[in-house]
Amino acid sequence: MSSNGAGDRYLGIVGAGKAGTAIARAAVAGGYDVAISGSGSAERIQLIVEVLAPGARAVTTEEVARHADLIVLAIPLHRFQDLRRDLFAGKILVDAMNYWDEIDGVDGPFATAPAGTSVLVQKWFSSARVVKSLNHLGYFKFEKSRRPRGMPGRVGMAAAGNDPAAVALVLQLIDTLGFDAVDAGSLESGLALQPGGPIFGAGHTAKELSNLLSRAAVVPLPSSSGARI
Ligand SMILES: NC(=O)c1ccc[n+]([C@@H]2O[C@H](COP(=O)([O-])OP(=O)(O)OC[C@H]3O[C@@H](n4cnc5c(N)ncnc54)[C@H](OP(=O)(O)O)[C@@H]3O)[C@@H](O)[C@H]2O)c1
């Protein structure tokens, strides 16, 4: 078990909840070797993973970090600072987290992040290559919408980041997971992917996504204005 570098088929997922297990199912179906963790021991999530993401392996977060160069962070936003700042050094870190006031608190930096919460994630994990993605569809819609390339009804999924090579790999991941990948620009542009942004929560085609993103003068609304995902 170890990663062979960017472009391989290893995927790590931190967070074995609704989002993390949905992403794990899609990644296993797409041929990824998936390791997934919760906040505790591997044993604690073993059954959840066996039932909800068969084929993925339940491990600790430390093991996730060793497993892959491509790692999805799918935990409540207010919890990411529980993780060591150097845990993902050199890794591509897909930030699938959203800010929800009732979960993450109404005050503080997440509520007011002017360039989006992924910029704060990048600041914390300064040696990681953060890409915002996999956050703008609810897990149910994610599950129901994913399908092979070329199949009618395929929807788009956007990725935003400042490291073009990292974004390119995340776009490949998105395609493998069953979505048409759309480059949304810089990490700061990831603001448009957040709750209240123009593409959040809806299952748009890639073309619709591109159009909405290019027109986006994004002013995120309070998180209570939309269904929470
Ligand atoms: N639900 C959706 O449809 C959806 C869709 C897209 C994005 N998101 C975003 O994805 C994130 C997770 O949402 P969710 O709905 O999947 O939440 P959830 O069902 O409550 O699951 C949260 C998971 O995160 C784990 N976790 C918490 N703190 C952790 C830590 N410090 N280290 C490792 N794992 C930790 C929890 O493990 P323990 O149980 O061991 O604490 C649990 O497995 C949120 O930011 C959410 O906005 C959600």
Dump pLDDT digits (tens) for 115-167: 999 999 999 999 999 999 999 999 999 999 999 999 999 999 999 999 999 99
Q: What is the DSSP letter of 54?
A: B
- Does a structural domain hold residue 3? no
Residue 112 has pLDDT above 90, yes or no: no
Distance from residue 55's CA to the centre of ligand 1 (Å): 20
43, 63, 71, 75: residue to mutate for ligand 1 pocket, most atoms within 8 A of CB:
75
- Does a structural domain hold residue 125? yes
**50-102: per-residue pLDDT in tens?**
999 999 999 999 999 999 999 999 999 999 999 999 999 999 999 999 999 99
- Does a structural domain hold residue 74? yes
Rounded to an integer, what distance in angstroms lies between the CA atom of residue 92 and that of residue 10? Answer: 12
Q: What is the DSSP letter of 222?
A: P
Measured from the Cα of 141, ligand 1's closest atom is 3
Statement: the pTM of the whole predicted model exceeds 0.85:
yes
SS3 per residue for 59-73: CCHHHHHHHCCEEEE
Pocket of ligand 1 (CB under 6 A): 14-20, 37-40, 61, 74-77, 79, 82-83, 96-98, 100, 135, 138-139, 229
Distance from residue 187's CA to the centre of ligand 1 (Å): 21
- Does a structural domain hold residue 187? yes
Amino acid sitting at position 80: F
Of the listed ranges 75-79, 107-111, 211-215, the least confidently predicted one is 107-111
Q: Specify the number of domains making up the chain.
A: 1
- Does a structural domain hold residue 186? yes
Rounded to an integer, what distance in angstroms lies between the CA atom of residue 202 and that of residue 85? Answer: 33
Residue 7 has pLDDT above 80, yes or no: no
Domain that holds residue 72: 10-225
pLDDT at position 229, please? 59
For residue 85, the domain's CATH number is 3.40.50.720
Residue nearest to atom 7 of ligand 1 (CA): 135
Residue 187 has pLDDT above 90, yes or no: yes
C-alpha distances (whole Å) from 154 to each of 51, 144, 196 are: 26, 10, 23
Residue 176 has pLDDT above 60, yes or no: yes
Tell me whether residue 206 is exposed, middle or buried, using C-beta atoms within 10 angstroms of its C-beta: 0 to 12, 13 to 18, 19 or more: middle
Termini Cα distance of the chain: 32
- Those residues with Cβ within 8 angstroms of residue 169's Cβ, 6 or more apart along the chain or in another chain: 6, 7, 70, 92
What is the length of the chain?
Answer: 229
